[in-house]
A = this chain, B = another copy of it.
Amino acid sequence: MSKTIKSTPKKDGFRMPGEFEPHVGSWLIWPERTDTWRDGGKPGQKVLVEVAAAISKYEKCTVLVSAAQYENARARLPEEVRVIEMSVDDAWTQDKGPTFVINDKGDVRGVHWGWNAWGGLEGGLYFPWKLDSQVGQKILEIEDVDRYDATHFVVEGGATQVDGEGTLIITEQCNLNHNRNGDMPKEEIEKNFKEYMNIEKIIWLKRGMVFDETDGHVDDVCFFVRPGVIALSWVDDPKHPQYEVLNEAYEILSGETDAKGRKFEIHKIHIPDVLHITDEENDGIDISASAAPRDPGMSLAVTYINAYIINGAVLVPQFGDQRDKEACDKLAELFPDRDIVPLNTREWSLCGGNIHCMTLQQPRP
């Protein structure tokens, strides 16, 4: 049973934990829509099988899939992966899933956010998005987790980074964008984050990465290794298109303190070269008026920072780039107690995201 609670996590003593805290497991969605995922979704699905298999070695992994693809997904995924039917408008569980919040008594609840496919009719990525907007509630009901209804407030999970100790990092480009919550004043936006994630201090970056179709999600820019320690996308070349935004993010974070008053220890992880969709890749994508077009030669935002932290491991995107190994080595230093699991996820980047966007952590209370 999943009851709707007329209160907020902050009022009830629940908080959103950091991704690095212990998980019950992870949720993913089987990619299918052929106007976004090339070649009938098959290359993207193959990557999902690899990522789900990797996760299931460390923690419980659930994959959501349409009725049409159920048989195929069930047969291709390892038996250890739980497969549950769910209809969605597209994949990207981190963004449309619920936020699980926990208290100190071993209880868990969920926050069900508003959703408009990264911008609704003002630059959103597809239409309609009704099935997506039910995903939060559906996941919470499957898990018998009570629900805070925050559907009045549009936000994607990937647009937020928390340290689990009261600090939230977001971007003005995304979270103050008119296409998310219209004319809602900044103070009210901050209040929603503070109440529903139990946040004490919000750090506003100006922008996310260039070429990011989500209007600048922070999960391409940085993540918390642990409270007080941040891994940051970085590029050395001042002429690189990402140089300005990443430098700006570094400057802001360097001058900030977290909710506990700590200065941040910041670790720069150099991004790979800009990635472009090839003509051949583009040719396998359906032409559709319902989804943002993919164009041949289109530049994509890519970074190792769109990694995903699970129990005992960190899953790191790889692109066949010269920087791949360097990123893994640096993350290995930052996570001495976790395995580093490199996974080639170029296919997912072609659709605008990576491992972090495609996964959702369910914390252990």
Contact = CB atoms under 8 A, between A and B. Distances in A.
B4 A84 contact: no
Interface stretch (A135-143, A211-219, A320-328): A135-143
Given A84-B138, A142-B142, A4 B71 contact: no
A3 B71 contact: no
Contacts of A134: 70-71
A142 B86 CA distance: 12
Interface string A136-156: 011001101000000000000
A79 B137 contact: no
Interface string A223-255: 000000000000000000000000000000000
B131 A82 contact: no
A10 B36 CA distance: 49
A84 B3 contact: no
A141 B1 contact: no
A85 B144 contact: no
Interface in A70-92: 70-71, 74, 79-87
A80 B87 CA distance: 23
A60 interface: yes
A76 to B, nearest CB: 15
Given A67-B131, A71-B134, A137-B74, A82 B4 contact: no
A344 interface: no
A74 B1 CA distance: 12
Contact-residue size bin, chain A (C-beta under 8 Å from the other chain)? 20 to 34
Interface string A1-30: 111100000000000000000000000000
Contacts of A141: 82-84
A222 B84 CA distance: 35
Interface in A118-142: 131, 134, 137-138, 141-142
A319 to B, nearest CB: 31
B138 A82 contact: no
Nearest to A2: B82
A82 B147 CA distance: 12
Contacts of A85: 85-87, 138
Most chain B CB atoms below 10 A, which of A70, A74, A81, A85: A85
Nearest to A79: B3
Contacts of A1: 56, 60, 79-82
Given A60-B1, A87-B67, A131-B67, A82 B144 contact: yes
A7 B134 CA distance: 39
A35 to B, nearest CB: 19
Interface string A308-345: 00000000000000000000000000000000000000
Nearest to A81: B1
Interface in A99-122: none
5 contacts: A3-B80, A4-B79, A74-B137, A84-B142, A85-B87
The 6 closest A-B pairs by CB, nearest first: A67-B87, A82-B141, A85-B86, A1-B80, A1-B82, A3-B79
